[in-house]
Amino acid sequence: MGHAAQDISSDVRVVFGANTRSNIAAELRRLNLSKALILATPQQGDAALEIAEYLGELAAGVFCKAAMHTPVEVTEVAMSHVAETQADCVVAIGGGSTTGLGKAIAYRTDLPQIVIPTTYAGSECTPILGQTENGVKTTLSDPKVLPEVIIYDSELVKTLPVAMTVTSALNAMAHAAEALYATDRTAGTTAMAVDGLKAFVNGLPKVLDDPSDLAAREATQRGAWACGTVLGQVGMALHHKLCHTLGGSFDLPHAETHAIILPHAIAYNARAVAKDLRPICDLLGGDNAGTALHNFATSMNAPTALRDLGMAEADLDRAADLATTKPYPNPQPVTRDDIRALLQAAWAGDTPI
């Protein structure tokens, strides 16, 4: 498989291909960097150690404590490692949680980042940083947190468990779906969103047939890059607001929550912008984009009910309140009663209303 590099903006270098991670030292040298602090979650310590081996004397240290929602306490400990090792860059290998830690360090230091994604979350393509302090998650946007290099090595997503492959893919597809009706969309972002959706619609069934099919894995990573890129370029609406509320205030897992909410949020907005959502029907069949996504998700055995993630039915009222207190642009007007009904259906695992 070729090592194709492709520019998405003047500053970001994007590399695709099997085993591309083994060239990590060359990527550092190209940027005149020589002291990398390697980041990972505790679960992906072996992947971090392998990168340290590939880097040899260019590895300054390994910090494997990245956690979901980028807790500021963890970033502070990581910052002391940055100081101790005198790191001149970070190499983040993992999903959105690890990428988030790298971005949090870059936000504080402006150190260059090389990101090696192992899920489809797409955080590596956005200038957005979400951080949690004292249980409150806030997000900011700053060009400083965009990585310098992204290495999509298909061998790394090969180990992504099938259930997480599906939920992470739906998480990526959600960025593209909401990009289709974003008020600040352009012809370019819409084309890229459709490309991203198509990559998953075609690639995901092949990946599930054979999780070690590297060509199919690479196709889905190209989809993740397209979906992540549009996430960084246009504003998101109902779907992302609901997932942010459910993740931040009820501690529900990120990718699974996206997978469950997506068909419901898109069905809700299809009432107002069915025409903009047409590409989803063209790819998946049917005449309602929400139903089409629901059928696609269930055919992939995706989770469909918030109750299966441990959410209590008694919390649905509070979730509806939280998700509707601050107004934001959305194609279909957001009312508390309608959102409460949407959440009830998503909690029970019903088909979208």
- Contact residues for ligand NAD (CB under 6 A)? 41, 43-44, 68-69, 94-98, 100, 118-119, 121-123, 126, 128-130, 156-157, 159-160, 168, 171, 231, 254-255
Locate all alpha helices (DSSP H) within the chain, ordered by sequence: 24-30, 45-55, 72-85, 96-109, 154-157, 162-179, 187-209, 214-233, 238-250, 254-273, 278-284, 289-299, 316-324, 336-348
Rounded CA-CA distance 92/106 in Å is: 11
Residue 156 or 293 with smaller CB distance to ligand NAD: 156
Residues 6 or more apart whose CB falls under 8 angstroms from that of 134 comprise none
Residue 44 or 75 with smaller CB distance to ligand NAD: 44
Query: Which residue's CB atom is positioned nearest to ligand NAD?
Result: 96
Residue 46 or 313 with smaller CB distance to ligand NAD: 46
Rounded CA-CA distance 76/104 in Å is: 9
Residues 6 or more apart whose CB falls under 8 angstroms from that of 318 comprise 249
Residue 121 or 292 with smaller CB distance to ligand NAD: 121
Residue 128 or 273 with smaller CB distance to ligand NAD: 128
Residue 43 or 86 with smaller CB distance to ligand NAD: 43
- Rounded to a whole number of angstroms, the minimum distance from the CB of residue 94 to ligand NAD is 5
- Rounded to a whole number of angstroms, the minimum distance from the CB of residue 122 to ligand NAD is 5
CA angle 54, 58, 60 (to 5 degrees): 110
Rounded CA-CA distance 70/66 in Å is: 7
Residue 146 or 194 with smaller CB distance to ligand NAD: 146
Phi, psi of 60 (to 5 degrees): -100, -20
Length of the chain: 353
- Rounded to a whole number of angstroms, the minimum distance from the CB of residue 303 to ligand NAD is 14
- Rounded to a whole number of angstroms, the minimum distance from the CB of residue 119 to ligand NAD is 3
- Rounded to a whole number of angstroms, the minimum distance from the CB of residue 285 to ligand NAD is 28
Rounded CA-CA distance 196/171 in Å is: 12
- Rounded to a whole number of angstroms, the minimum distance from the CB of residue 33 to ligand NAD is 23
Rounded to whole angstroms, the maximal C-alpha distance in the chain is 59
